[in-house]
Structure 1
Amino acid sequence: MGPKYRLELLVLALIGAMALAQKPSLSLEDKISNLQDMLYKRPIISMNMERWKNYVRSAPRNYSMIVMFTALSAGVNCPICKPAYDEFYILANSYRYGHMTDKAVYFGVVEFDDSPQIFQSMNLNTAPVIFHFPAKGREKKGDQMEFQRFGIDADAMAKFVAERTSIHVHVLRPPNYAAPVVIMLLVMLIMGLLYMRRNNLEFLYNRTFWGLACLTIVFCFMSGQMWNHIRGPPFFMTHPQTRETSFIHGSTQYQLVSETYIVLGLYVVITCGMVLVLDAPERKDNYRKMYAYVGLGLVTVFFSLLLSVFRMKYQGYPYQLLFN
């Protein structure tokens, strides 16, 4: 056998080996079957490079993929990734309960530490990001969810899914029994204190006491403390690209713990200013004008600050007072 025939045999052997090593592409029925099996086990499909190519990037496909790109490891400083992932999980779990047999949408997640190649293929250098990969054609400009505009809660994500896929997911949140238990313990504590002081209950007839109690409750609810208790947002947020720390979230659908404290403080100072203005005419001393001017100054300055916070949350709000 001459050298020419040996070379031809070697080339044929290499081609055969490559053909054997290359896995055949999955059919549409196989993809749907595998995705349904993974959906039964877990509402969110963890993506690696093989699954990414088979179920997201390759044809045939008659289903949409909603994929979150995130960085949940402790080594990556991303305080918003964990709450965003939790909300995404709630959305995917709600879809599994209500639309298991639709076979129209599947939810996936790409973790940066596990699959950095997928981040590179998408030219992503930030997280979290949610993309919609349509059943036909390439993704468009509107297929990326803007967290700064819509927020990161599950209801906003469900609205994004409905706009891109016409499938409306009713968000089902797990019941939280901590709040009723805390309220019950608080009521028992108050009843116990009243029983111990049953012979000295004059403070119950104190108008100042009840006024301060009512104001405290109003301030807590107006500043969003109940929202914090339900959603559990981070205290502040650090942007992955600029590394700047934000204490006020720039979206109407989300807020930070520090933001609620800022708003609560502004409400308190504005209320104190209004009390000074209303109390000034009742005073009989020489400080009437001072009370009125100080109260009016507090209301004007801190209401302007509150309006500035409102403008940061509602982009394009046209009105302002003293500050931008």
Structure 2
Amino acid sequence: MRVVGILFLSLLSLVNAYSSDYKVNKLNKLVAESPAEPITLDTKTFNLATETPRNYSMFVVLTAEGEQFQCSPCKAFAEEIRLVTKSFHKKGPKGQAFFGVLDFANGKEVFHKYKLTSVPFVYHFPPTEGPNKRNIKDEFEIYDLNRLGVKAEDFAFWIEKHSGHKIHISRPIDFKLYGTYAIMAVSSIGTLVALRSQIIAFLSEKKLWQMMSLSFIVIFCSGYMWNQIRGPPFMGSENGKPAMFAGGFQNQYVAESQIVGIIYGLVSVWFVLLYTQVPKIQNTAAQRSAAFILATLFIMTYSLLLRVFTFKNGGYPFTLFL
């Protein structure tokens, strides 16, 4: 009886010794049928490819590409996994890593086994024997698509990190995309050529450059660049109440710079109107009234601006009316 047991164990160990090679041959045949595509798995082939022992890495994408599931991330990642597979099979070592896709329609039992409630999901079953054997805590490793990204380059980097297989992703030229860019460029150039006289006349308009220059001056005087460099909050708080202005000349809030910018803009508008439009009024009484109103608005708005400076820093020495 003991001899029979020893023979049985010897036979079992012999079978196990060749089981990895058997699976590699089986998977290589499936790869040969379509080298540019990941292996299409079902429950049976999934169990065969992922069971121990393994002397290869097995990457499995669990997905649901059926129209009834409306899984757009599944379809988007399907293109990326094809690119990874094609790139690996072009230059990667044979029989050391395999890529498979298990759709929900072909492997409901696997989905229930791993209690999957969302897809796509990527499992890596590392080698359990051979020169590339890895000892990990769990049976498999998970590629987090939400955190690590769905691009082929991201997945290839993760593969290299966890299996040692470097994959150089070579994306095919997207002629449709470049064709669209070419059409847009030709259309833009054609439009510019057809409208060149109107464009030149528009760009030669002195008032346009005056308005643009004045706008830039107002924006930058209001503290726009300071906000871009320092990144202050939009508003602050003081004694539990919202604060629009920060004390001192070394700090400011975004809302504060917007308010100051509006005040600067109003001061500029009143002055420009007073200088350019009032002299054109033919009626003397109307001209005087307009001059008085615009001058009053200019003085009061400028007084408000000085008041803001005094509010920010009580030591500011200048005031005007307010």
> Normalised by the shorter chain, which TM-score bucket?
0.5 to 0.7
* CA distance in 1 between partners of 2:83 and 2:158 (Å): 15
The structure 2 residue matched to 1:114, chosen from 88, 92, 106, is 106
Q: CA deviation at 1:67?
A: 0.5
* Aligned counterparts, 1:54-93, within 5 A: 54-59=48-53, 61-93=54-86
Q: CA RMSD in A?
A: 3.6
Structure 1 equivalent of residue 87 of structure 2: 94
1:283 counterpart SS class: helix
- Residues 1:53 and 2:53 are matched in the alignment: no
Encode CA deviations 1:30-53: one digit per residue, 9 max, x unaligned: 322222222231430111122112
Pair 273,128 (structure 1): closer, same or farther in 2 beyond 3 Å: farther
Structure 2 equivalent of residue 180 of structure 1: 178
Q: Percent identity?
A: 20
- Residues 1:37 and 2:22 are matched in the alignment: no
Structure 2 equivalent of residue 189 of structure 1: 187
Structure 2 equivalent of residue 202 of structure 1: 201
- Tell me which structure has the larger Cα radius of gyration: 2
Aligned letter for 1:110? L
Aligned letter for 1:182? T
* CA distance in 2 between partners of 1:275 and 1:167 (Å): 59
Structure 2 equivalent of residue 227 of structure 1: none
Structure 1 equivalent of residue 223 of structure 2: none
Contact 2:123–2:140 (8 Å) recurs in 1: no
2:143 counterpart SS class: coil
2:98 counterpart SS class: strand
Question: TM-score w.r.t. structure 2 length?
Answer: 0.54
For structure 2, list consecutive stretches of 5 or more residues without a partner in the other structure. Answer: 1-14, 129-134, 213-253, 271-296, 306-322
Encode CA deviations 1:25-79: one digit per residue, 9 max, x unaligned: 98433322222222231430111122112221143x2101010111111111423
* CA distance in 1 between partners of 2:190 and 2:269 (Å): 43
For structure 1, list consecutive stretches of 5 or more residues without a partner in the other structure. Answer: 1-23, 212-268, 293-324
Question: TM-score w.r.t. structure 1 length?
Answer: 0.54
Aligned letter for 2:105? D
Structure 2 equivalent of residue 169 of structure 1: 167
Q: Which has the higher contact order (CA 8 A, sep 6+)?
A: 1
Q: CA deviation at 1:182?
A: 2.1
Q: CA deviation at 1:154?
A: 1.3
Contact 1:132–1:139 (8 Å) recurs in 2: no
Aligned letter for 1:280? G
2:168 counterpart SS class: coil
* CA distance in 2 between partners of 1:275 and 1:83 (Å): 48
- Residues 1:152 and 2:145 are matched in the alignment: no
* CA distance in 1 between partners of 2:139 and 2:182 (Å): 50
1:67 counterpart SS class: strand
* CA distance in 1 between partners of 2:45 and 2:146 (Å): 29
2:124 counterpart SS class: strand
1:74 counterpart SS class: coil
